[in-house]
Amino acid sequence: MRILEEAAGRLTGRFGPSVVVTGAEARPYAGDMMYRATQAAVCVFRPDSTRMLSDGLKALADLDLDFVPRGGGSGLAGGATPDGTRASIIVSTERMRAIRRIDPRGRLMVAEAGVVLAEAQQAALEAGLQLGLTHGGAGSASLGGSISTNAGGANVLRYGMARDQLLGLEAVLPCGTVIGQASELWKDNTGYNLAQLIAGAEGTLAFVTAVTLKLRAGAKDRQAALFAVSSPAAALDLLALSHETLGEAICAAELMSGDAVDFAARMDCAGSPLEDRHDWLLLIEAEATSRFFDLAGGFEALLEEAFEQELVHDGVLAQSEAQRLGLWHLREGVAEAMDLHRGPILRTDCSVPVEAVPKFVAGVAEGTAAKAPEAFAAFFGHLGDGNIHVNFLPRPDIAPAGLPGALSLMVEDVARGLSGSVSAEHGIGLHKRDALARMKPAAELSLMARIKAAFDPGGRLNPGKIFSAPTGAADKEGSE
Amino acid sequence: MRILEEAAGRLTGRFGPSVVVTGAEARPYAGDMMYRATQAAVCVFRPDSTRMLSDGLKALADLDLDFVPRGGGSGLAGGATPDGTRASIIVSTERMRAIRRIDPRGRLMVAEAGVVLAEAQQAALEAGLQLGLTHGGAGSASLGGSISTNAGGANVLRYGMARDQLLGLEAVLPCGTVIGQASELWKDNTGYNLAQLIAGAEGTLAFVTAVTLKLRAGAKDRQAALFAVSSPAAALDLLALSHETLGEAICAAELMSGDAVDFAARMDCAGSPLEDRHDWLLLIEAEATSRFFDLAGGFEALLEEAFEQELVHDGVLAQSEAQRLGLWHLREGVAEAMDLHRGPILRTDCSVPVEAVPKFVAGVAEGTAAKAPEAFAAFFGHLGDGNIHVNFLPRPDIAPAGLPGALSLMVEDVARGLSGSVSAEHGIGLHKRDALARMKPAAELSLMARIKAAFDPGGRLNPGKIFSAPTGAADKEGSE
């Protein structure tokens, strides 16, 4: 496309050839883990500073172009995928990788958007502190992407979502104006909190260029245990006992169905350390940030009390760091087994009130039996946040066309019937636009559209995300 | 004013006489702790439900009126004070007092906006949990006001600001449309987070009618100690050691200048339990949410180590709950002594990066000596958040007119010179509009104005707050 050539020419003329990627080399940038833009013409702009991004946007202001912000590409909802309706510049933060400052006393980190989550975690650890955010994509997800999508993960129970880590945010509007600051303040009540609005906006309001993140006290000890329980309701009882025993130290409560664990074992991904097969497993992890916290003693008391109250059929306390990591290997294996299986996977990401998890699981199981008795459904996820993922292998070879969509809708309907959400942590992107339109009242959607216009009057920034729009050329990888 | 009579008539006709207060009885509603609207004509609307508020706003839609949301009236920045430019309906949430639900397992509370913070705290305690928010105004501040102003306080170090407690929010737009939900979800990534935008917007975007707040694990033990240190820099060293020893359990680190403590003693407000007089005192509090946390042991180790490293001149560990409350009585007495003194007080509320607190204190002391050597300046506040309040008794009997304003500007300039904020936790309201205009780039202020217009196109909701506007009839109580 002529217009992309013109844009690429202006950018390389101004900043040198390394800032632009086009043609076949640009292909890997044109999507996330789930959605690829196979037909959209793209050009990638890779600024190495906020200033360069700002200048670049201003240099392209008169061209009829869209801009798509891109972090690590680990999203699952198509939030970084050009929707194909117009020529798009993908703006990659991969060269904005400086950790500007770590202040152990101020307990914060200032880092550029392209820093990979795992890098930031490591830097925090080296300063004797920790970042309160981790998720399955930590090895590739960027900080900018994690904040823009308000990423969740396994530690939300203790430290909250990505937005809960956020103290300051520097961003660039589509017109090139820099707003906000990655300041080092814990308290700053000066007008509307633009940082919190941009967090979770999936790159539709502004480009995130740098963030200030809270750092938490470093872990002095970390313990985990795996429990066999008879049902999600029993898992909730056990989680309540865990909170009673260990308080805020509880940082993860991951539920897995026996079927999902069996499947992971069959795929050679991971196996349970428990002797028998159980219907449900709950992984509880806690961490102590003081040497005066007897975490091991607390876990032993929890195990004992859980047996005494007959809340659990079996249980094992990790006796070493290797064993603890083994339990997490099991949890992660449950998710990975689905990916290793040949054939399409249908992922879901709904949340319900914590107390409603048993009803959610029962409702989805019932709906699956009715709609697709031959499909395999794996339940796993974050019990303490009411966010149980249900992933399906829908057997498309024998299932009618449209079944994945029907299953997806079924899960969303079950969640909504329990006052839940159609997107707990993965976001809307291209993937859940219709679901969002069904879930939110028109008045709220139109308010959101007015907010969007306040930031991006030309509608050039990540168009087609969150809000329903004419279908573009983005093709889903796998089914849906 | 005819228009207020018309409005009052419509509201009483529709909802009965108890929903409206006018005339002299309405006066107490026309301001907060610092700003009174002495000339503005006001009428108070006291809906008892979200529905009634929505219907009332719709019934008044055609009248040329402003609306001023009001919680407990404990603000310090004039955020709930009619600015007097037009006839105003004050909307008080005092009758919206239901705690709709406490879910101990979901660890959350759903409550209406008019619930007093102390009531919510008590309800959480009765459920075996706690609200992670407390501040000096807890006995009168409402939840709606606390969220609308993003209140801070002493526990921010551990639990964050008011917005960090927020899971869901129900609000009413000035046109009467209800938006958002006080839902019971820990994870909900469905479009822009309107709740986080409305939090801290000081009632300029929407009326907050109900909130869902996180509940934290209940405290099993709470310990506090008072340390004498030689300087704010030494206090920071001690806080770092406290974090190293007790980790995330640290929930407050309150710094007080010796002068402020002396003044409190002279005013018979409170006295230090330490034998000698010291230049600086630091109150450290920690809480354990598990019985397996040996907090007392941790504090003894902290005391010992602090003496060994010569970080402290003296220190005392509260040996009983009464002694612990006594330490807080001292901290609160330092603030109250200023109020008890006859004559005007100048309050300030700036924040700086934590590491910059020593420079902030030195800069303000220097500026005070230069501008008003006869003024008394009390330093006290939240060391761990970089939010040290400096309150002045400026001796107006001998000081030139305009001195309070000059001192205020001096403190703000010192903070800004250290990359700080002109409003840490009190907000902008009427009080800091000019300071905000000086601090924020024009592009950000105009973006905020566009966001305001997206919610309130008629500019009827809490006009004159945050944004600079023609001076109205609101008079400051006391100086500034």
**Contact residues on chain A for B468, CB-CB shorter than 8 A:** none
SS3 of chain B: helix, strand, coil, percent, to 5: 40, 25, 40
Last residue of a domain, one of A217, A240, A273: A217
Same domain, A34 and A55: yes
The token duo for B361 is 């204190």
Q: Would you say residue B354 has pLDDT above 60?
A: yes
B280 touches B314 (CB < 8 A): no
Same domain, A91 and A106: no
Sheet of B387-393, strand order: B314-317, B221-229, B280-288, B250-257, B376-382, B387-393
For A239, residues 6+ apart whose C-beta sits below 8 A from its C-beta are A250, A253, A282, A284, A383, A384, B105
Same domain, A24 and A120: no
Cα–Cα distance, B243 to A216 (Å, whole number): 10
Whether B473 is covered by a domain: the verdict is no
Whether B452 is covered by a domain: the verdict is no
On whether any CB of chain B is under 8 Å from the CB of A362, the answer is no
3-class DSSP state for residue B169? strand
Domain containing A118 equals 99-217
Whether A447 is covered by a domain: the verdict is no
CATH of the domain at A127: 3.30.465.10
Last residue of a domain, one of A70, A95, A120: A95
What average pLDDT does range A297-302 have in this prediction?
Answer: 98
On whether any CB of chain A is under 8 Å from the CB of B303, the answer is no
On whether any CB of chain A is under 8 Å from the CB of B401, the answer is no
A111 touches A213 (CB < 8 A): yes
pLDDT in tens, B43-95: 999 999 999 999 999 999 999 999 999 999 999 999 999 988 889 999 999 99
Cα–Cα distance, A73 to A26 (Å, whole number): 13
Asked if A454 lies within 8 A of B455 by C-beta distance, the reply is: no
How many percent of chain B have pLDDT more than 90? 87
Q: To the nearest 10°, report the CA torsion of A157, A161, A166, A172.
A: 170
On whether any CB of chain A is under 8 Å from the CB of B468, the answer is no
pLDDT in tens, B169-213: 999 999 999 999 999 999 999 999 999 999 999 999 999 999 999
| pLDDT of res. A473 | 37
B385 touches A187 (CB < 8 A): yes
How many percent of chain B have pLDDT more than 70? 96
3-class DSSP state for residue A451? helix
On whether any CB of chain A is under 8 Å from the CB of B323, the answer is no
CATH of the domain at B70: 3.30.43.10
B31 touches B73 (CB < 8 A): yes
| pLDDT of res. B83 | 86
| pLDDT of res. B227 | 98
Mean pLDDT of chain B: 94
CATH of the domain at A366: 3.30.70.2740
**Which of A185, A191, A240 minimises the CB distance to B466?**
A191
pLDDT in tens, A435-470: 999 999 999 999 999 999 999 999 999 999 999 854
Same domain, B333 and B383: no
Report residue A480's pLDDT band, with 50, 70 and 90 as the boundaries: very low
Same domain, A87 and A111: no
Distinct helix (H) and strand (E) counts, chain A: 14, 18
| B389 backbone dihedrals φ, ψ, rounded to 5° | -75, 140
**Contact residues on chain A for B197, CB-CB shorter than 8 A:** 192-193, 196-197, 451
Sign of CA dihedral A346, A349, A350, A351: positive
Q: How close, in Å, is residue A62 to chain B by CA atoms?
A: 20
DSSP bridge partners of A182: none
Helices (H), B60-155: 117-126, 143-148
Whether A237 is covered by a domain: the verdict is yes
Across A365-388, b (16+ Cβ under 10 Å) vs e yields: bebbeebbeebbbbbbbbbbbbbb
Q: Would you say residue B158 has pLDDT above 80?
A: yes
**Contact residues on chain A for B420, CB-CB shorter than 8 A:** 185
DSSP bridge partners of A102: A109
Last residue of a domain, one of B290, B313, B340: B340
Q: Would you say residue B115 has pLDDT above 70?
A: yes
Cα–Cα distance, A41 to B233 (Å, whole number): 57
| pLDDT of res. B476 | 45
B216 touches B107 (CB < 8 A): yes
Same domain, A255 and A277: yes
**Contact residues on chain B for A146, CB-CB shorter than 8 A:** none
DSSP bridge partners of B99: B111
Work out how many domains chain B is built from and give that number: 4
The token duo for B199 is 């939090």
Report residue B466's pLDDT band, with 50, 70 and 90 as the boundaries: very high
Q: Would you say residue B475 has pLDDT above 50?
A: no
Cα–Cα distance, A60 to A62 (Å, whole number): 6
Asked if B240 lies within 8 A of A107 by C-beta distance, the reply is: no
Same domain, B66 and B126: no
What average pLDDT does range A70-96 have in this prediction?
Answer: 93
The token duo for B233 is 């820099």
Q: Which of A121, A99, A119, A122 is nearest to A111 (CA)?
A: A99
Residue position matching structure tokens 């939300």: A156
By mean pLDDT, which of A23-37, A156-170, B436-450 is the weakest? Answer: A23-37
Same domain, A308 and A402: no
| pLDDT of res. A442 | 95
Asked if B193 lies within 8 A of A180 by C-beta distance, the reply is: no
Residue type, A251: C
DSSP bridge partners of B214: B108
| pLDDT of res. B397 | 63
Report residue A397's pLDDT band, with 50, 70 and 90 as the boundaries: low
Whether B479 is covered by a domain: the verdict is no
| pLDDT of res. B196 | 98
Pairing of strands A314-317, A221-229: antiparallel
Report residue B365's pLDDT band, with 50, 70 and 90 as the boundaries: very high
Report residue A478's pLDDT band, with 50, 70 and 90 as the boundaries: very low
Q: Would you say residue A398 has pLDDT above 70?
A: no
Sign of CA dihedral A233, A237, A243, A246: negative
The token duo for A306 is 């859980």
Same domain, B360 and B405: yes
3-class DSSP state for residue A196? helix
Q: Which of A436, A18, A393, A42 is nearest to A200 (CA)?
A: A436
How many percent of chain A have pLDDT more than 70? 96
| pLDDT of res. A396 | 62
Cα–Cα distance, B207 to B185 (Å, whole number): 21
Q: Which helix (H) or strand (E) holds A218?
A: none
pLDDT in tens, B332-353: 999 889 888 877 789 999 999 9
| pLDDT of res. A470 | 41
Same domain, A51 and A116: no
More confident residue, A153 or A400: A153
- For residue B249, the 8-state DSSP code is G
Helices (H), A113-272: 117-126, 143-148, 156-159, 194-198, 232-246, 258-266
CATH of the domain at A306: 3.30.70.2190
Mutate to test the interface with A, among B188, B236, B455 (most CBs of A within 10 A): B188
Whether A362 is covered by a domain: the verdict is yes
What average pLDDT does range A228-248 have in this prediction?
Answer: 98
Cα–Cα distance, A261 to A278 (Å, whole number): 9
**Contact residues on chain A for B387, CB-CB shorter than 8 A:** 186-187
On the 0-12 / 13-18 / 19+ scale of CB atoms within 10 A, A13 is: exposed
Mutate to test the interface with A, among B76, B175, B190 (most CBs of A within 10 A): B190
Cα–Cα distance, A419 to A200 (Å, whole number): 21
What average pLDDT does range A194-209 have in this prediction?
Answer: 98
Whether B460 is covered by a domain: the verdict is no
Whether B134 is covered by a domain: the verdict is yes
